[in-house]
Structures are given as structure tokens and as C-alpha cells.
């Protein structure tokens, strides 16, 4: 679904986890998903329910967050009840995170890896420090000028 231009070890260091990796989309990706950009975000959550759901469907799932853009992330289904009437389906996979630490509400750290040798932080999210440390120290990637940093 995307063109991977980073070492396999980098993927294994960040996924599964609270990180979304943005890469160049491949021709195999349905053209109706993200039709106005050549990029796609890939995320493998470290959440057993989501991994089981993807296995049941035998492939990736195209999902959005259960909150409005720029609002804090929802940690359980009750927190986005106001959106239920607009949704076709709501599945309760249980609480996300510990619910106590503010980092739980920051969402995933979104990293643009579409430019070889560089990375850009699109959204700092909950794993910013650990993610940038891995990208810079272990893999020698440089922050791009468009980066959040």
C-alpha cells in the first residue's frame, strides 16, 4: 500500500506502537483513499483488539480517529457519543491507555518518511521523544525543514 524506503529495522522499532508513518502511496492502494495526496499514513497500533480485527479482515483497515480534528483523542467509546448518529458502526474495543496520563490523549506521533534520509514531524503526538531519538540516533535521519521540530 506504500513505497517503503526505510530500513526494515526502523519499521520494527516503531511498529506496532503509537506512531503513524507517512510514506508515498503505491498503485495497489485504492484510489478513493486519500485521493488528493501522493502519501498515505500507515499505523499498526499496539492494541490486541485492533490487531485481531485486522486479522479477521485479512488485511489493512482504513480508519479515522474517533474525535474531531484538533480535539483530544477519545480513550473510550462513551467519549465520542455525540458522533454516534453520524457513524455507521461503533465497536467497543475497550479503554485505550491508562486514562490517567495526559499523553494518552495526544494521539499517535505522525512522521513523514516520504523523503529518503529525512523525516518530518506532522503531529508531535504521544511518542515524539522516543520516535525522534530512534530516527536520528539509530538511523541517522535528518529533520526536514517542514518538520514540526
In a domain, 25, yes or no: yes
pLDDT of residue 62: 84
What grid cell was written down for 107? 494521539
Q: What's the total number of domains in the chain?
A: 1
In a domain, 12, yes or no: yes
The whole model's pTM is what? 0.87
In a domain, 75, yes or no: no
Tallying the residues shown for the chain, one arrives at: 149
In a domain, 138, yes or no: yes
Mean pLDDT along residues 128-148: 89
Distance CA 51, CA 65 (A): 16
In a domain, 92, yes or no: no
**Residue 3 belongs to domain spanning:** 1-56+101-148
In a domain, 84, yes or no: no
For 74-117, write each residue's pLDDT tens digit: 888 998 899 899 988 888 888 887 767 777 788 899 999 999 99
The pLDDT mean for the chain works out to 89
* Residue 128 in this model has a pLDDT that exceeds 90: yes
- Tell which residue, 103, 105, 122, has the closest CA to residue 113: 122
Mean pLDDT along residues 54-78: 82
Q: For cell 457519543, what's the residue?
A: 81
Residue 46 sits in a domain whose CATH number is 3.90.870.10
- Tell which residue, 66, 67, 62, has the closest CA to residue 42: 62
What 3-state class would DSSP assign to 45?
A: coil
In a domain, 113, yes or no: yes
In a domain, 115, yes or no: yes
Amino acid at each position: 500500500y506504500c513505497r517503503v524506503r526505510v530500513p526494515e529495522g526502523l519499521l520494527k522499532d516503531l511498529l506496532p506502537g503509537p506512531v503513524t508513518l507517512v510514506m508515498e502511496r503505491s498503485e495497489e492502494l485504492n484510489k478513493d483513499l486519500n485521493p488528493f495526496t501522493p502519501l498515505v499514513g500507515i499505523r499498526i497500533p499496539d492494541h490486541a483488539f485492533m490487531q485481531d480485527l485486522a486479522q479477521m479482515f485479512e488485511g489493512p483497515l482504513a480508519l479515522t480517529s474517533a474525535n474531531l480534528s484538533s480535539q483530544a483523542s477519545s480513550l473510550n467509546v462513551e467519549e465520542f457519543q455525540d458522533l454516534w448518529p453520524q457513524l455507521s458502526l461503533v465497536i467497543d474495543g475497550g479503554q485505550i491507555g491508562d486514562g490517567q496520563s495526559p499523553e494518552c490523549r495526544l494521539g499517535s506521533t505522525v512522521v513523514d518518511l516520504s523523503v529518503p534520509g529525512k523525516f518530518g514531524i506532522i503531529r508531535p503526538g504521544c511518542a515524539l521523544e522516543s520516535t525522534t531519538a530512534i530516527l536520528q540516533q539509530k538511523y541517522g535521519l535528518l529533520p526536514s525543514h517542514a518538520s514540526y521540530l
